[in-house]
Amino acid sequence: TQFLNNNSLALKFIYGDTVYLTCGDLYLNGEKDVLEKYPESLKADLLKANHHLNDTSSQLRWVKATKAQVVVGMNDVIGSMSVYKRYVKYGATVYHTLYNGMIRVVCEDNHNLTVTTQLDSWVEKGGN
């Protein structure tokens, strides 16, 4: 699995002043390779967390290099609360499908990110 995941497709999208980075399921070694090759190109406003926010990814160097404002993780479990907390410690707001349900991120005016979640919609409708 690690070998396959370290061959994940990495994509960086730039829209106006906003940067979105997604690197699939990279493990720590894959992140290390990307960090060595593109150390100055990883800053992202919006980041899809590598490998479901598991501790197999998102090493401290990666978190510092990406400097993400918003981080999104997807899975039916959170792999590691320490990874979640690491992103928060360095200034990110973290969303995860386990806690937030569907997550929608819209880039407005080429700069501002607006995040809405399935949970927001549920609360607005009077959910408890």
Residue 102 confidence (pLDDT):
95
How many whole angstroms separate alpha carbon 14 and alpha carbon 21? 9
| Per-residue pLDDT, 80 | 83
pLDDT at 126 exceeding the cut of 80? no
pTM, 2 dp: 0.91
Domains of the chain (ranges, CATH numbers):
2-100 (3.30.750)
pLDDT exceeds 70 at position 128: no
Mean pLDDT of the chain: 93
| 28-73: pLDDT as tens digits | 999 999 999 999 999 999 999 999 999 999 999 999 999 999 999 9
Q: What is the pLDDT, as a whole number, of residue 110?
A: 84
Name the E strands within the chain.
Answer: 11-15, 18-22, 46-48, 70-73, 93-96, 103-108, 112-117
